[in-house]
Amino acid sequence: MNTNKKIILIASVIILLSVGVIIGRLVINATIQKQISIIRPTEVVSYTVKKNNFYDQIDTFGTALANQSYSIRIKKSDIISSVEFDKNLFIEKNQIIANTKNETIAAPFSGRLGIREITPGILGGEQSIIATLDDISYIKIDANIPENYLPALKKNLKVKITSNEIKDEFIGNIETISARIDPTTRSVLIQVKVKNSENKIIPGMLLDMSIRYNERSALEVPQEAIVQSGEDTTVFKIVDGKTVSLTSIKVGLRDFERAEVISGLSEGETIVKEGVSKLRDKALIKVSN
């Protein structure tokens, strides 16, 4: 073997050894980093399981009705004196509405007075004023509820009442439940009564209603804490503040923000609220609330 070949062989060996060392170091570093990442705690946000109020609800709608109504019809030619019918005045009980040739008309209850209709007479004839007196201190709302909800309906159940025209939310109660089911609609008629704060609801207004029933106190967890895999519902329960245990739970009512826990957790236990996507069973964690 001549000198040139020896030099080439030695150089090749040196290069191979250098490459091998570099690759070896890269493999070792990758292995070390992998091990470090395995044992490095995952930063999470925790949540302490507590009780809150839950309820089921029936969504329906109805039309506002005055608590009481009184109709007045007077011939204009008979009026001696009267209040201004077109001003939507609030009238107190026993206040004189009109004095006519034949009688004195007083308010049978307090309420808002308004013209319902003005009927012109024939040429040369008389005109009549038709007015209404509505007691709107309370509003009544009739609604038909499907018969399958009948076992849940009870007097005094809370009803949340809203309207597109009114930004406020009102809370009323079921006052009456019909003793019969309509055979045509397969529904039962109920009447809800609500205090009309500041007289914001007026008769004839369409109202949305949510009837609350089966109110209860139950454990809750945030929806973001739940890991759903097929039919399995789990959360990561924090153990000793350092590791997690993947725990199966059974949930009931759910909405966009929270879920009712029927079983699998106890009040006061701590679970992972944020960071669940980075975890596995028995993973190390660092709680950073």
What is the domain partition of the chain in residue ranges? Answer: 42-54+217-287
pLDDT exceeds 90 at position 73? no
Q: What is the pLDDT of residue 124?
A: 35
CA angle 152, 158, 164 (to 5 degrees): 115
The pLDDT mean for the chain works out to 87
pLDDT exceeds 80 at position 142? yes
* Domain 42-54+217-287 in this protein, CATH class: mainly beta
Return the closest-CA partner of residue 66 out of 98, 119, 108, 105.
108
Bridge partners, residue 187, by sequence? 146, 182
Q: What is the pLDDT of residue 9?
A: 61
CA angle 190, 192, 198 (to 5 degrees): 160
Rounded CA separation 219/54 (Å): 9
Mean pLDDT of 21-36: 65
More confident residue, 49 or 121: 49
pLDDT exceeds 60 at position 37? no
Q: Is the pTM of this model over 0.75?
A: no
Going by pLDDT thresholds of 50, 70 and 90, the confidence category of residue 165 is confident
Mean pLDDT of 106-114: 93
